[in-house]
Amino acid sequence: PRVCEPFPNPPPPPTPTMSPTTSPAPTGCADPMAATLTDTTGTALPYGSTPIIVTGSGKDDEYVLFDLVQDISGGTIKHISLSYRDRDSGNVVCDTIMDVAAGSETPFKAACVSTLAEVDLYVYTGYNFDSEGVAACTLPTPTSGNFRLYEFEIPCDLECSEPTGSPTSGLTETPTSGPTSSPTKNPTSGPTSSPTKNPTSGPTTSPT
């Protein structure tokens, strides 16, 4: 009798592979550094005080991340204003914080110009301070002993300035090396390279 040969089955199509992608992110400094104090108006900073701490930087030295650390006074400071160039708008802005507790930390982001970011810190330490009577980021004339201005510079070309890439979450799927070389006990998920020895569990789309 004539033996019917099974039709050749094509190999299964390859499964698309999902590869991890990377996205730039600000890089944190392994060793946070203090900004450089360039000028002082009024009372000098207490010995060892470092109120501006650099914590990281952005892609291509475009901006720096820093914290305002209230180590200027052991008590609460009524009013602190910071003047710096905003990274998003590119304009010089003034941010004001009221009742700043000792040891508190507040994060900021400043744009860089000519590899430097400049931060001016205005501090008022009086107990009877009226915030409505004083314009933020300015010194009164004549200057009161309770007002202080500290001017800082932050270098933008830090060692931690290059961004790191974070792979996206997800599994990488790859196709199998090819069809199986021998019959399997259970129905296969795809065509095999040769007929099976035992009857299949149900109708098939091609002769066995």
**180 secondary structure, DSSP code:** -
Task: Quickly list DSSP for 7-59.
Answer: PPPPPPPPPPP------EEPEEEEEEEEPEEEEEESSPPPTT---EEEEEE-G
Measure the CA–CA gap between 28 and 78, rounded to whole angstroms: 30
72-130 tens-digit pLDDT? 999 999 889 999 999 989 999 999 998 999 999 999 999 999 889 999 999 987 665 65
Q: How confident is the prediction for the chain on average, in pLDDT?
A: 74
Residue 112's contacts (CB-CB under 8 Å, 6 or more residues apart) are 61, 62, 63, 64, 156
> What's residue 165's pLDDT?
45
pLDDT one-digit tens code per residue, 22-71: 434 555 666 688 999 999 998 899 999 999 999 988 877 899 999 999 99
Q: What is the distance between the alpha carbons of residues 28 and 93, in angstroms, rounded to a whole number?
A: 24
Q: What is the pLDDT of residues 135-176, one digit of tens each?
A: 788 887 766 677 889 999 999 887 654 444 444 444 444 444
Question: With a threshold of 0.75, does the pTM exceed it?
Answer: no
